[in-house]
Structure formats: structure tokens, C-alpha cells
Amino acid sequence: MVETVETEDRKSQAKWYILHTYSGYEAMVKSSLEKLIENNNLKDHIFDLKIPTEQTVEEKNGKRKLVEHKLLPCYVFIKMIYSNQLWYLITNTRGVTGFVGPQGRPIPMKEEEIKKMKLEEFVINVDFKVGERVMVTEGLAKDLVGEVLALDDENQQVKIRTTIANSVQDVVVRYSEVEKVEELAQ
């Protein structure tokens, strides 16, 4: 129990930083850093590695498929407690050109940047409930209005019944992509 508390305390001290990589090396850098963490027992110093991506629907030869694209090619995001020793180990990893910051010294990301890049899932308490009307504010279903059918607090998702092209559809979106529609007073 004591180790868990210490790890959580250390994790709360960690900050997100940005690594610059050679083009196309993002996945290799992430994999190499995961091995570095494991081999050097750095789990209490480096907590997370991410390559932000988004999924889009592309149509080719009449077939639609889900394709994943990197939001920022040549960058890997790392959550860690910074030290000069870690800087040395990370910057000497194959494919890493350095940290983003003056003279290659890292600058921690701001909370707004972390939210915008969706690097961490923030727990959102919603102000709507089943049966109420909501509007999707971002994503593929942006501007759709519908009725809340179900709330999934564990996955931070809401199921909405809406009308798309004269057809009733059920759509599942994140809490962060939805806001309550205030009904007009009659």
C-alpha cells in the first residue's frame, strides 16, 4: 500500500514534455523508450508515452474504412519527472532529435495544451441526464442534437438518439464533446 501511495504522489509531480523525432520514427522511438523504461527500472520516473492520433473515415473505391492519422508527425509526448540523467538517456535514444524547448532543454506543457491534445482523460461530471436533449459540439457528429439514452461514467461516454438524413440513429460520443441544450421557455 505504501508503494502505491508513493507512486501516485510521484506521478502527480510528473509533467508532460514534447520530444522531436525523425520523420516516420515516432512508433520506433516510443517502443525504444518503453524498453528503456523497463530495462532501467524507470517506471517511477517516466509514466506515459503518447503519439496523438485521430481516426477519420476515408472512402476508396466505394468502400469506407477507418484510418488513423498522426496529429503531429515527428513528435512523441512523454510524461515524466525531469532530471539531467533522463534527458541524457532519452536524447541518446535512436530517432530522437531532442526535446522541444530552448537549446533542446524541455519546457513542460501547460494544462490547456494537455487538454487540447487529449493526452490525459479528465473526469467530467455532466450536467445532463437520460431523457434530456444535448448537442454534440465537436467530432464527426458535430452540431447534431438528440436525446440522451444512456450515460457511461466509466468510459466517459453518452449514447444519444438523433436524426441523420431522415433516419433515426443512435450515436455514442465522449462527455467532453456534448453540452446540454437549454429548452426555450414557452
The most confident of the ranges 32-36, 99-103, 136-140, 177-181 is 32-36
**Per-residue confidence at 50, pLDDT binned at 50, 70, 90?**
very high
Mean pLDDT computed over 16-33? 95
What CATH number matches the domain at 2-117, 3.40.718.10, 3.30.70.640, 2.60.40.10, 3.30.70.940? 3.30.70.940
Say what the pLDDT of residue 122 is: 62
The fold of the 133-180 domain, in CATH, is SH3 type barrels. (2.30.30)
In the chain, where the domains are located: 2-117, 133-180
pLDDT at 30 > cutoff 80: yes
What percent of the chain stands above pLDDT 70? 92
* Cβ atoms < 10 Å from Cβ of 182: 7
Say what the pLDDT of residue 8 is: 67
Question: Which tens digits make up the pLDDT trace of 103-158?
Answer: 878 999 988 888 777 787 666 777 888 999 999 888 777 888 999 999 888 778 88
